[in-house]
Structures are given as structure tokens and as C-alpha cells.
Amino acid sequence: MSVPTGSLLPGECRLICPALFAGPQGVADLKIRAPALDRLLARADCKETSIRDPLETLAAAFGLTAAASSTARVRRAGEMPRSSAGDGQSPATAGALDQAPPVTGSDRDLPSAALCLLADAPAGAHDGCWFHADPVHLRPDRDRLLLFAGAALAPREDEADALVAAFNAHFAADGLYLIAIRPDRWYLRVADQPNLRTCPLYEVVGRDLDTCLPSGPDARAWNRWQNEAQMLFYGHPVNQARETAGRPVINGVWTWGGGVLPAVSGGPALTIADHPLALGLARASGGAWRGLDALDRAAWRDVTGTVLVFWDHLWQSAGDLDAWRRGLDILDVLVATLSSELAAKRLLRLTIDDGIGDRFTLSRAAQHCFWRRRGALGDWIARRSGPHRR
């Protein structure tokens, strides 16, 4: 993708680039060439932010936080359908969940599902409380249970339709309703918002589920029906056929990002992104939005105000070294173009944010601070590769 030089009117361009400093396995052995990014990282003012999640960073760019986003009636503990057996919890664990304190404030989920649905299917997003319900493969490994998802697992449309229909027939009395907007993108509707804190799918893949299960007063009931769904899917003809064909079975759904559609009153003048959350936020705020392919057409030319680019190519290709390098090359061209706009005084400042705590702001004056030596991109990747960073 080429990125032509536009004619930005005075304002800010903000790039949110998840996984900027988290290359795939083997990246440490590469000689990384990203001259524009190297220059920006060396000369920009660096600030640590309080947000440690890429999607929460994106939402915050629209003035939305988990604490302020939910206006749903939260269920009282014990109000959801419960079962005394078969919920997959030991008595001690079940008792702890029943006595868990309410989930409030910043501990609530960011309602990303409802906002993503606003991008995918606007008509349904206003109705009830929505969760992401991604199809997953659960695999026992000694004394733990691991979760896998992604392109290798993705069902065909007929498979998704059959599994969704079986789920809805089984859980109709529980008020659970599942839809597959795309074969690999499912959403779950509940009438009212349960009192839960969940873990995003991208934090769970390949990890022990015991450390990632929902928490809060309603977690016991929530885990109970998820275990029921596993048993329902396990014996379904779709999975029998997949197993016979040597394909991984879809034996569960992972729910996260629950809430009702929030009001969004702020945001950039233009959002350029492919991620459904970015498009949903832009739609909710009334701002303009374009896909990432709009960068080829210099879509920012007639924009006054902030332009937000959610560049998730590096994040999406975290397991593919070649794809990561291609994404980095495109990003470096984009940064070079925007730096030229800054130097030509057609842009007030350029900000790049890794989405998990580091923000770099390059002003016109800082562009000339050639004595600054904070390190190139490869140096930042080495610094941020410790276990305390995602």
C-alpha cells in the first residue's frame, strides 16, 4: 500500500498501533529497518499512560471508559438462572463466586460487543446487553484446559448457522440468544447486564482458562451455561464431521466485552480503521470514518481536527513474522508521510500509541531535537519484551 502525501489542515494525527513493541517470535533476530519510526521514537516526547489494553485505549480516544460506559440495570447476584450441579465449580469455588463483591466502576467490562455490533449490524445493537461470543476450541493439557481460536478454527457459514441454531434452541428458556454476523464473529444477547468481569479473547488464547474465567457475583451461573454449551457442541453433527475431516472441533464459546450500547459524545473528526470497535465508536459519536484502505487516497486531506488511525496490522499478524514485517513497512511509510506534513506545518502534532501504556508525541519543535537518542524501534522492542508487558 502506498501512502501519498496529503494536505492536512492544522490538527493532530493520532496512530494507535497495538503490538508496536511486541513482534512475533524471531523478531529479536531481525535487523529491523524502520527509519521514520526510529526518528519519531528518538525525538518524540514519551509519556506513560494508565491504560494497558488496546481496545480500552481506542475507546478512551472517544472519551469512553469502562466505568462510565454502562447504563444497564445490573442483575442482582443470584438473579440469573442457577443450577446446583454441573456448573464445573468445586463447592469452595462456587461459594467464593456467590459471595464475590459486585463488579463496579473501572472493573466493569468495556461494552465492546455492543459497539462492534453497531458496526456490523446497527439495527440490533440497541436491543439488550451484548457480549462477544467467539467460537473456540478447548483442549485439555495435563491438569489444565487451554483455549485456541483464530483462522484455523473458523467455521464455514453452514457450520456456524447449525451451531447457533442448536444453541438458541437449548438456551431459549434462559433468555440467551446467539447470532453469527459472520461465521467467525458471534454475539450473545442477554436481557439484562449480569454482574461480571470477563477477560478478552486476545488475552486468553493459549492460556490456562483457570486464570481467565469470569469473576463477580453472577460468575457461577455464567460458567454453568458455558459448560452446558461445551457439552451441547461436543456431540453436535457439525463437530463430528469436523473431527472426521481432521479439523479442530468448535467445543465452546468465549464471552467477553459485555454491556449495553453506551452514549459516545466525543471523538476524532475522522477515524480510519478496519476494526469493528473503531467503526462502532465512530458511528456512535457521529464522526466520519473510513477503512484503512482510505490511507491510499489520503483521506485526511479535507479534515479539520483530529484524525485517528487504528493500525492493527501488527497486532493481527503477531504470530506471522513475514506479515508483521510487511505491516511494519507500510506503517513506516505512513509515519514518514505524516512527519513530512508536520514539517510542512500542515499538522500540529503526530502521536503514536502502542495501546498498552506508551505514548509518543512529536511536535514541530521536537522534530529538530536531533540530540535526543531514546533508541530505535528494535531497542524499544527489546525493552518492552519482558513478562510484565503484553
Single-letter amino acid, residue 284: A
Three-state SS at 223: helix
What's the confidence (pLDDT) of residue 366?
63
Please say if the pLDDT value at position 266 is more than 90: no
Residue 369: φ, ψ to 5°? -85, 70
Q: Is residue 360 part of a domain?
A: yes
What's the confidence (pLDDT) of residue 372?
60
Residues whose CB falls within 8 Å of the CB of residue 172, separated by 6 or more in sequence, listed in order: none
Q: Is residue 301 part of a domain?
A: yes
Highest mean pLDDT (candidates 204-213, 238-247, 324-333)? 238-247
Do 288 and 248 sit in the same domain of this protein? no
Q: Is residue 5 part of a domain?
A: no
Q: Is residue 388 part of a domain?
A: no
Distance (Å, whole) CA 175 – CA 191 = 7
Which residues in 61-98 are b (16+ Cβ under 10 Å) and which e? bbebbbeebbebebbebeebeeeeeebebeeebbeebb
Q: Which domain-ending residue is among 259, 294, 313?
A: 259
Cell of 300: 485526511
Q: Is residue 93 part of a domain?
A: yes
Share of the chain above pLDDT 90, in %: 53
Do 251 and 119 sit in the same domain of this protein? yes
Give per-residue pLDDT as tens, 105-149. Answer: 678 899 999 999 999 999 889 889 999 999 999 998 888 889 999
Q: Which domain-ending residue is among 223, 239, 259?
A: 259
* Phi-psi label, residue 359: left if phi above 0, alpha if psi -120 to 50, beta otherwise: beta
Distance (Å, whole) CA 34 – CA 216 = 44
Q: Is residue 2 part of a domain?
A: no
Do 36 and 114 sit in the same domain of this protein? no
Distance (Å, whole) CA 342 – CA 365 = 10
Do 217 and 339 sit in the same domain of this protein? no
8 A C-beta contact, residue 145 and residue 230: no
Please say if the pLDDT value at position 15 is more than 70: yes
Do 186 and 295 sit in the same domain of this protein? no
Distance (Å, whole) CA 66 – CA 256 = 13
- Maximal CA-CA distance, the chain: 68
Single-letter amino acid, residue 278: A
Q: Which of 276, 321, 274, 332 is nearest to 22 (CA)?
A: 321
Please say if the pLDDT value at position 270 is more than 50: yes
Do 141 and 287 sit in the same domain of this protein? no
8 A C-beta contact, residue 242 and residue 234: no
Do 81 and 198 sit in the same domain of this protein? yes
299: confidence class by pLDDT, cuts 50, 70, 90: low
Range of 146's domain? 69-259
> What's the domain count of the chain?
2
Distance (Å, whole) CA 19 – CA 31 = 18
Do 230 and 308 sit in the same domain of this protein? no
What's the confidence (pLDDT) of residue 18?
94
Burial class (CB in 10 A: 0-12, 13-18, 19+), 334: buried
Q: Which domain-ending residue is among 259, 276, 298?
A: 259
Distance (Å, whole) CA 270 – CA 215 = 36
Cell of 328: 511494519
Residues whose CB falls within 8 Å of the CB of residue 330, separated by 6 or more in sequence, listed in order: 1, 3, 313
Q: Which of 363, 366, 352 is nearest to 21 (CA)?
A: 352
Do 51 and 77 sit in the same domain of this protein? no
Chain mean pLDDT for the chain: 83
Residues whose CB falls within 8 Å of the CB of residue 381, separated by 6 or more in sequence, listed in order: 21, 22, 23, 27, 28, 32
Give per-residue pLDDT as tens, 173-187. Answer: 999 999 999 999 999
Cell of 5: 502525501
Do 245 and 225 sit in the same domain of this protein? yes
Distance (Å, whole) CA 199 – CA 184 = 19
Do 18 and 157 sit in the same domain of this protein? no
Distance (Å, whole) CA 129 – CA 331 = 36
Give per-residue pLDDT as tens, 348-383. Answer: 889 999 999 899 998 867 666 665 666 778 888 877
Return the bridge partners of 211, or none: none
Q: Is residue 1 part of a domain?
A: no
Do 156 and 137 sit in the same domain of this protein? yes
Distance (Å, whole) CA 157 – CA 181 = 10
Q: Is residue 287 part of a domain?
A: yes
Burial class (CB in 10 A: 0-12, 13-18, 19+), 318: middle
Of 325 and 170, the structure prediction assigns the larger pLDDT to: 170
Which of the residue ranges 70-74, 116-120, 265-269, 301-305 would you say has the lowest mean pLDDT? 70-74
Please give the helix or strand (H or E) that residue 178 lies within, else none: strand 177-182
What's the confidence (pLDDT) of residue 370?
62
Please say if the pLDDT value at position 34 is more than 60: yes
Single-letter amino acid, residue 209: L
